[in-house]
Amino acid sequence: MQTTKEYAQLLDSQDPLASFRQEFYIQPGVVYMDGNSLGLLSKRAEQALLDMLESWKQLGIDGWLDGKHPWFYVSEQIGALLAPLAGAAPEEVIAAGSTTVNLHQLAATFYEPQETRTKILASSLDFPTDIYALQSQLRLKGYNPDEHLLLIESRDGRTIWEEDIIAAMNEEVALAILPCILYRSGQVLDMQRLTAAAHERGILIGFDACHSIGAIPHRFSEWGTDFAFWCNYKYINGGPGSTAGLYVNRRHFGRLPGLTGWFGSDKEKQFNMEHTFSKAEGAGAYQLGTPHILSSAPLLGSLELFREAGMDRVRQKSLLLTSYMLQLIRSELHSYGFTVGTPEEEERRGGHVALEHPEAARICKALKQAGVVPDYRAPDIIRLAPAALYTSFADVWAAVAALKEIMEKKQYEAFPNERNVVA
């Protein structure tokens, strides 16, 4: 493999998705590698938000039913745009809430302890909010989380083995909730295999798709997955605090959501103001309060880009970018004490590369000073996410070149080895 900048530029010239980079606001002199925490603003997302503000300005309350995107139906409209990325039918997906709110909603719905089946199965490497929510749901049902939240331990501190998860799916487990991609290492779990194994054992299963939606294709409906939830501000580029998403398999449409609110109503009856809840037929029933219109609006524009690019092509480029990054790391950084924490196999690798180093916090600060925006995760992980829609191969080359210079000249020593308040 060639390690020159010119080779990176050659790869860019052959990239069928290269034109999408022009859709985003990329600051001069900045290499952005933090799209797995917050994606960049696109011009179309900006315009969609401006359009929504114009509706408010011109129409006032009539914006609920009039204008370019009537607010009363916008959550379902965005759900239909998200559905292909989830591998689901439009009525199985809704834009609503936040990751944590949606997890509470789904756990309240699908966690039904009975007799010996009282435990929830999760992973010791889950994002903390998932664990907090599950602990809360167990306490609400009168169970001690220390005894009834079963956490699968990692064998290496980076990854979770599917065999270990399946081995723990016993007659005491009522519900399994696992990440599609582990947020630290970027490992992709075999969702199809885990769904099949759970169902064979009478266990309902859902997935946290926060680090996978917009990074890898999903086929939740085909796999028979019971439910999923995710944020839309990472690879989907919906903006900070963007309205989240959830999926519910159609075979569960007859269930009453565990938490009910007026926007989960059948829209034809919502304004009857009756005290009897008439739920919407599909995933829309899992909405709670009035949708956050201005936090939803950018998704209308950002999801247009995914529709045009195609999720399969996005995944193909993502794998090329991370493969190229891994090759450069092996070639250029092998003598500086870095360990790659991300699985090498393509089918097990998500959208980012995790580099481990004892000086990770200060290295991240040095990278920022050099114009490269990384992500830090305690205690020793540098996450680099080359988002396919706006990251070039030249960006990947520049990020690794900056890392090499920082290590060669020990520029990281100018910074304390501690994280900022927001890592």
Which listed residue (383, 393, 395, 412) is catalytic?
A: 383
Same domain, 181 and 297: yes
Which listed residue (207, 220, 227, 233) is catalytic?
A: 233
Indicate if 119 belongs to the active site: no
Residue located via tokens 């009522």: 174
> Where residue 36 falls among pLDDT bands split at 50, 70, 90?
very high
Query: How far is Cα 324 from Cα 338, in angstroms, rounded to an integer?
Result: 17
Which listed residue (44, 158, 184, 234) is catalytic?
A: 234
Same domain, 78 and 218: yes
What CATH number does the domain containing 27 carry?
3.90.1150.10
Q: What is the pLDDT of residue 117?
A: 97
Q: What do you get for the CA distance between the two ends of the chain, in Å? A: 33
What DSSP letter does each residue of 70-115 carry, written as one string?
A: -GGGHHHHHHHHHHHHHTS-GGGEEE-S-HHHHHHHHHHHH---BT
- 202 within some domain: yes
Find the radius of gyration of the CA atoms of the chain: 22
Which residue among 308, 336, 363 closes a domain? 308
Same domain, 317 and 382: yes
- 316 within some domain: yes
What CATH number does the domain containing 282 carry?
3.40.640.10
- Cβ partners under 8 Å of residue 183, min gap 6: 36, 125, 127, 210, 211, 377
Same domain, 302 and 317: no
Q: Which of the 8 DSSP states describes residue 340?
A: E
**255-291 pLDDT, tens per residue?**
999 999 999 999 999 999 999 999 999 999 999 999 9
Q: Which of the 8 DSSP states describes residue 336?
A: T
Indicate if 233 belongs to the active site: yes
Q: Which residues are annotated as a binding site?
A: 99-100, 127-130, 208, 211, 233, 262, 290
Indicate if 127 belongs to the active site: yes
Number of domains comprising the chain: 2
Query: How far is Cα 361 from Cα 418, in angstroms, rounded to an integer?
Result: 5
17 neighbors 388 (Cβ within 8 angstroms): yes
**385-422 pLDDT, tens per residue?**
999 999 999 999 999 999 999 999 999 999 998 888 77
Indicate if 383 belongs to the active site: yes
Which residue among 273, 308, 343 closes a domain? 308
- 422 within some domain: no
Tell me the residue range of the domain where 71 lies.
48-308
What DSSP letter does each residue of 176-227 carry, written as one string?
A: EEEESB-TTT-BBP-HHHHHHHHHHTT-EEEEE-TTTBTTB---HHHHT--E
Same domain, 361 and 376: yes
Same domain, 314 and 304: no
Which residue among 308, 329, 344 closes a domain? 308
- 250 within some domain: yes
Q: What is the pLDDT of residue 419?
A: 82
- 419 within some domain: no
**331-383 pLDDT, tens per residue?**
999 999 999 999 999 999 999 999 999 999 999 999 999 999 999 999 999 99
- 37 within some domain: no
Beta-ladder partners of 32: 373
> Where residue 1 falls among pLDDT bands split at 50, 70, 90?
low
pTM, 2 dp: 0.97
Residue 72 dihedral angles phi and psi, to the nearest 5°:
-60, -25
Residue located via tokens 């179309």: 44
Same domain, 282 and 346: no
Query: How far is Cα 188 from Cα 373, in angstroms, rounded to an integer?
Result: 24
Quick check: helix, strand or coil at residue 398? helix
Same domain, 294 and 317: no
Q: Which residues are annotated as a binding site for pyridoxal 5'-phosphate?
A: 99-100, 127-130, 208, 211, 233, 262, 290
- 39 within some domain: no
Tokens describing residue 114: 């009975």
Q: Which of the 8 DSSP states describes residue 333?
A: S
Same domain, 125 and 250: yes
- 421 within some domain: no
Same domain, 366 and 286: no
Give percent of the chain with pLDDT exceeding 90: 98
81 neighbors 302 (Cβ within 8 angstroms): no
Q: Compute how many other C-beta atoms are within 10 angstroms of the C-beta atom of residue 9.
A: 13
385 neighbors 19 (Cβ within 8 angstroms): no
Q: What is the mean pLDDT of residues 295-323?
A: 98
- Cβ partners under 8 Å of residue 34, min gap 6: 373, 374, 375, 383, 385
Q: What is the pLDDT of residue 315?
A: 98
Q: What is the pLDDT of residue 355?
A: 98
Query: How far is Cα 291 from Cα 289, in angstroms, rounded to an integer?
Result: 6
Same domain, 304 and 318: no
Same domain, 180 and 304: yes
Query: How far is Cα 264 from Cα 277, in angstroms, rounded to an integer?
Result: 9
Which listed residue (7, 72, 73, 127) is catalytic?
A: 127
- Cβ partners under 8 Å of residue 351, min gap 6: 35, 36, 181, 186, 211, 212, 215, 216, 235, 318, 322, 385, 386, 387, 388
